[in-house]
C-alpha cells in the first residue's frame, strides 16, 4: 500500500439516507475515499475489486446480515477493519459477532458523529499497520531467503 493514497472507507446499509449522511460526514475533511453499497452483494463486489481499509456495515439487511457480510469481507480482504453499525437492540448478536468475525468495533444507531469519526480514524490506522506488517514480513522473508542463498554459496565455496 502506498502511503499517499487516501484511506478507503466502505459503508454498507440498505438505507440510502444512512449512506448519504455518513458519507457526507466522512467526506467533510477530504480525508477519506468513501464508497457506499446499498446491499451486501454490492459490497462484496466492491471488496473484490478495490482496496478497502475500513468496512462499516449495518446489521439487518436483505439477503445477508452484517455479521455474515463482515465475515466474508475478512476472507476477501483480511486487512480491512470491520465495524458493525446497528439499530438492532440486540447486544448478544454484537458480542457474537465480535467473537466470530473479529470485529474491531460495534456502533449503535443513532451514532455519535465524534465517536464514529474516532472509530474510523483508529480503524484506518489498524488497517495501515496490518498492511505495513504484511509488507515487512514479506521483506523479512525475502531477506531470509537471500541470506540462505548466500549461506549455501558460502558453504559451497568453503567445502
Partner 1 sequence: MNPVVTADQLLELQRMATLGGLLASVAHELSAPVAVLLSNADVRTMLLDKFDAAAGDADRIRKLMVSAREVANVDHVACERVRRMVTSLKVAARAGGGEFIKSSINEILDASLLLANTQFRHRVEVRTEFAELPEIECQPDRLSQAFLNLLINAGQAIEDRGTVVAGTELAGDQVHVWISDTGRGIREEDQPKVLREGFTTKPVGIGTGLGLAIVRQIIVESHGGTITFESTVGKGTTFHVHLPLAHKKQGAAD
Residues near partner 1 (CB under 8 A) are 13-18, 20-22, 24-25, 27-28, 60-62, 87-89, 109-111, 113
Q: Is the dihedral of CA 154, 155, 156, 159 positive or negative?
A: positive
Q: Write down the least CB distance from residue 20 to partner 1, Å.
A: 5
Q: Which is nearer to partner 1, 64 or 76 (CB)?
A: 64
Residue 123 CB, nearest approach to partner 1 (Å):
18
**Minimum CB separation from partner 1 for residue 26, in Å?**
10
Q: Give the whole-angstrom CA distance, residue 92 versus residue 89.
A: 9
- Residues 123, 12: contact at Cβ < 8 Å? no
Residue 44 CB, shortest distance to partner 1, in Å, is 18
Rounded Cα gap, residues 155 and 46, in angstroms: 50
CA distance 133 to 129: 6
Nearer to partner 1, 54 or 127 (CB): 54
Give the integer Cα–Cα distance in Å for 130 and 125.
Answer: 9
Q: Tell the smallest beta-carbon distance from residue 39 to partner 1 (Å).
A: 11
Edge-to-edge strand order for the sheet containing 81-86?
A: 33-37, 8-12, 54-58, 81-86, 105-108
Look at residue 28 and give its three-state secondary structure: coil
Residue 7 vs 40, nearer CB to partner 1: 40
Amino acid at each position: 500500500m502506498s502511503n499517499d493514497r487516501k484511506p478507503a472507507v466502505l459503508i454498507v446499509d440498505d438505507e440510502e439516507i444512512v449512506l448519504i449522511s455518513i458519507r457526507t460526514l466522512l467526506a467533510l475533511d477530504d480525508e477519506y475515499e468513501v464508497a457506499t453499497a446499498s446491499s451486501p452483494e454490492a459490497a462484496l463486489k466492491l471488496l473484490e475489486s478495490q482496496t478497502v481499509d475500513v468496512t462499516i456495515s449495518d446489521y439487518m439487511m436483505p439477503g445477508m446480515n452484517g455479521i455474515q457480510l463482515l465475515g466474508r469481507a475478512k476472507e476477501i480482504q483480511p486487512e480491512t477493519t470491520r465495524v458493525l453499525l446497528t439499530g438492532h437492540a440486540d447486544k448478544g448478536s454484537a458480542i457474537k459477532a465480535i467473537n466470530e468475525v473479529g470485529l474491531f468495533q460495534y456502533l449503535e444507531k443513532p451514532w455519535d458523529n465524534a465517536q464514529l469519526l474516532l472509530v474510523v480514524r483508529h480503524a484506518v490506522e489498524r488497517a495501515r499497520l496490518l498492511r505495513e506488517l504484511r509488507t515487512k514480513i514479506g521483506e523479512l522473508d525475502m531477506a531470509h531467503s537471500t541470506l540462505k542463498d548466500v549461506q549455501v554459496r558460502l558453504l559451497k565455496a568453503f567445502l
